């Protein structure tokens, strides 16, 4: 089961922290990179809205300051996501995932609308709560096995407690809930497709990576 994401292509060692690329992690890394480039080079769309009480319609604009902040958070989210996709260290993975959660809150909370900010607040609470089981999982892995290296754990000589695996998944679910908040009708009153998509993409990517991590360790 050591090669569940395909045969390793490349290892990059930083002391005992190893970054590794398999066909699986490389695919996820490239997707995060491509969408980060989209965020960097694209301007947000202008959503069309119908004005009530007549035939008129108008296009929503996004202010420059809001655009800059959401773009910054989206790029930070993309970078955190890329880190989470290729890291070979359980603690680093939890750090990157919590950063993804923070950035997603930032992307949503920057919109100047009460409804959108309510959604961001609710998501923020869940993401905050999600960090507790996630870091607890990393702590349990270190305490029971003496290592946080996924490559060491994948050798099968050390047993990771089922509770640690369950807590890790629970934590990632909390951080990766963004699409469910972004899918709220209120959220889509706000324009900014490249940024909202980064919320969805990052959540999906961390779900996919945690699947590999759980199967690996």
Partner 1 sequence: MIAELLFATFFGLLLLGIHRKVIARIQRRPGPPVWQEILHMLKFSFKTTWVPATASTALFVGVVLVAIGIWTAALLVILSGGSLLVIFAIYMLHKIVEHGFGLSSGSPYGKFGGVRSVISAASEIPLFVTVAAIAIFTKSLMISDIVAYQELEGPLLATIPLAAVAMYVVLLSKMPFGPFSIVESKELVSGYKTEHFGVWRAGLEVCNGLKTYVLLLTFILVFIGSLPFWMVLIAMVLITVSLSFVCAVSPMLSPYDSVTIQTLIAGLMVAYVAILGVMS
Distance of closest approach, residue 176 Cβ to partner 1, in angstroms: 10
Q: Is the CB of 42 or the CB of 65 nearer to partner 1? A: 42
Query: For residues 17-36, which are near partner 1 according to CB under 8 A?
Result: 22-24, 27-28, 31, 34-35
Minimum distance from residue 61 beta carbon to partner 1 (Å) = 10
Cross-strand pairs, 49: 58
Q: Which of residues 154-193 bind partner 1 (CB under 8 A)?
A: 179-180, 182-183, 185, 188, 191, 193
In the chain, beta strands by DSSP E: 10-14, 17-21, 48-50, 57-59
3 state DSSP class of 194: helix
132 near partner 1, judged by CB under 8 A: no
User: Is 5 among the residues that bind partner 1 (CB under 8 A)?
Assistant: yes
Tell me how many residues contact partner 1 (CB under 8 A).
44
What distance in Å separates the CA atoms of residue 20 and residue 12, rounded to the nearest whole number?
A: 6
Q: Which of 194, 206, 210, 213 binds partner 1 (CB under 8 A)?
A: 194
Q: Which one, 27 or 147, has the nearer CB to partner 1?
A: 27
130 and 173 Cβ atoms separated by less than 8 Å? yes
CA 169 to chain centre: 13
Kindly tell me which of 134 and 213 has the beta carbon lying closer to partner 1: 213
* Longest CA span, the chain: 70
Phi, psi of 151 (to 5 degrees): -70, -35
How open is the CA angle 181-85-23, to the nearest 5 degrees?
A: 125
Binding of residue 93 to partner 1 (CB under 8 A) = no
41 CB neighbour count, 10 Å cutoff: 8
> Footprint of partner 1 on this chain (CB under 8 A)?
1, 3-6, 22-24, 27-28, 31, 34-35, 38, 41-50, 59, 179-180, 182-183, 185, 188, 191, 193-194, 196-197, 200-201, 204, 207-208, 211-212, 215
């Amino acid at each position: 089961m050591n090669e569940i994401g395909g045969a390793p292509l490349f290892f990059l060692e930083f002391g005992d922290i190893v970054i590794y690329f398999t066909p699986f992690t490389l695919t996820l890394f490239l997707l995060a990179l491509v969408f980060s480039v989209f965020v960097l080079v694209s301007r947000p769309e202008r959503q069309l809205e119908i004005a009530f009480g007549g035939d008129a319609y108008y296009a929503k604009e996004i202010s420059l300051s809001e655009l800059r902040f959401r773009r910054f958070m989206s790029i930070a989210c993309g970078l955190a996501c890329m880190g989470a996709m290729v890291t070979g260290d359980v603690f680093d993975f939890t750090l990157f995932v919590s950063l993804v959660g923070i950035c997603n809150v930032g992307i949503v909370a920057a919109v100047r609308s009460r409804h959108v900010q309510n959604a961001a607040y609710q998501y923020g609470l869940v993401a905050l709560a999600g960090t507790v089981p996630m870091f607890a999982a990393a702590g349990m892995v270190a305490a029971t096995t003496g290592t946080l290296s996924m490559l060491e754990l994948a050798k099968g000589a050390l047993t990771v407690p089922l509770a640690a695996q369950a807590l890790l998944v629970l934590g990632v679910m909390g951080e990766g809930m963004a699409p469910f908040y972004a899918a709220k009708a209120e959220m889509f009153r706000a324009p900014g497709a490249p940024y909202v998509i980064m919320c969805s993409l990052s959540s999906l990517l961390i779900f996919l990576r945690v699947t590999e991590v759980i199967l690996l360790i």
